[in-house]
Amino acid sequence: PGASYGVLPRPCRALVLLNPQSGAGRALEDFQAVVQPMLADADITPTVFVTERPHHAQEKVQDEDLSQWDVLVVMSGDGLLHEVLNGLMERPDWEQALQTPLCILPGGSGNALAASINYYAGNDHVAKKKLLTNCTFILCKGLHAPMDLVSLSTASGKRFFSFLGFGWGFIADVDIDSEKYRRLGNARFTLGTLQCLVRLRIYQGRLSYLPAAPPADTLLVPLGQPVPPHWVVVPEEEFVCVYAIYQSHLGTNLLMAPAARLHDGCIHLFYVRAGISRVALLKIFLAMGRGTHLELNCPHLHCVPVRAFRLEPRGSAGVMTVDGEALACEPVQGQIHGRMCRVVTG
Catalytically active residues, by annotation: 78
* Angle 288-294-295 from CA coordinates, rounded to 5°: 105
Exactly one of 26, 91, 182, 283 binds ligand ADP (CB under 6 A); that residue is: 182
142 binds Mg ion (CB under 5 A): no
CA distance 194 to 45: 43
Q: Does 108 bind ligand ADP (CB under 6 A)?
A: yes
Among 278, 326, 329, which residue's Cα sits nearest to residue 174? Answer: 326
Q: From residue 228, give the alpha-carbon distance in Å to each of 174, 222, 232, 255.
A: 37, 10, 9, 34
Site membership for ligand ADP, residue 79 (CB under 6 A): yes
Nearest Cα to Cα of residue 69 among 61, 59, 57, 77: 61
Separation of alpha carbons 156 and 188, rounded Å: 31
Q: Which of residues 81-120 bind Mg ion (CB under 5 A)?
A: 110
| Side chain identity, residue 249 | H
Q: For residue 91, what is the DSSP state? A: S
Tell me: does residue 175 bind ligand ADP (CB under 6 A): no
User: By CB under 6 A, is residue 53 in contact with ligand ADP?
Assistant: yes
Residue 167 in the binding site for Mg ion (CB under 5 A)? no
Q: Which region, judged by CB under 6 A, interacts with ligand ADP, from 78-86, 255-263, 290-298, 327-335?
A: 78-86
**Interface with Mg ion includes 146 (CB under 5 A)?**
no
Q: What are the DSSP E strand ranges found in the chain? A: 6-7, 12-18, 44-50, 71-76, 102-106, 143-154, 159-162, 165-169, 203-211, 232-233, 238-245, 249-251, 254-255, 267-273, 301-313, 319-322, 325-328, 332-344
185 is a site residue for Mg ion (CB under 5 A): no
Pairing of the two strands 12-18 and 71-76: parallel
Q: Report CA 317 to chain centroid distance, whole Å.
A: 23
Indicate the residue among 110 and 192 with the shorter CB distance to ligand ADP.
110
Identity of residue 260: A
The span from the CA of 233 to the CA of 67, in Å, is 46
Question: In terms of CB distance, is 164 or 276 closer to ligand ADP?
Answer: 164
Residue 32 Cβ vs ligand ADP, minimum distance, rounded to whole Å: 17
| Shortest CB 339 distance to ligand ADP, Å | 24
Q: Which of 79, 165, 205, 313 binds Mg ion (CB under 5 A)?
A: 79
Q: Which stretch binds ligand ADP (CB under 6 A): 50-58, 279-287, 292-300, 306-314?
A: 50-58
Q: Which of 37, 54, 275, 299 binds ligand ADP (CB under 6 A)?
A: 54
Contacted entry of Mg ion, ligand ADP, none for residue 51, CB cut-off 5 to 8 Å set by kind: ligand ADP
Choose between 193 and 203: whose C-beta lies nearer to ligand ADP: 193
Buried residues in 119-138 as b, exposed as e (16+ CB within 10 A): bbeebebebeeebbbbbbeb
Amino acid identity of residue 251, one-letter, is G
Residue 77 within binding range of Mg ion, rule CB under 5 A:
yes
Which letter does DSSP use for residue 107 in this model? -
The β-bridge relationship of strands 165-169 and 238-245 is antiparallel
Residue 21 interacts with, from Mg ion, ligand ADP, none (CB under 5-8 Å by kind): ligand ADP
Least distance in angstroms from the C-beta of 80 to Mg ion: 8
Interaction pattern, residues 319-338, with Mg ion; x per rule: CB under 5 A: -----x--------------
Stretch of residues binding ligand ADP (CB under 6 A), selected from 16-24, 297-305, 310-318, 333-341: 16-24
Under the rule (CB under 6 A), what is the footprint of ligand ADP? 19-23, 51-54, 56, 76-80, 83, 108-110, 182, 324-325
Binding site for Mg ion (CB under 5 A): 77, 79, 110, 324
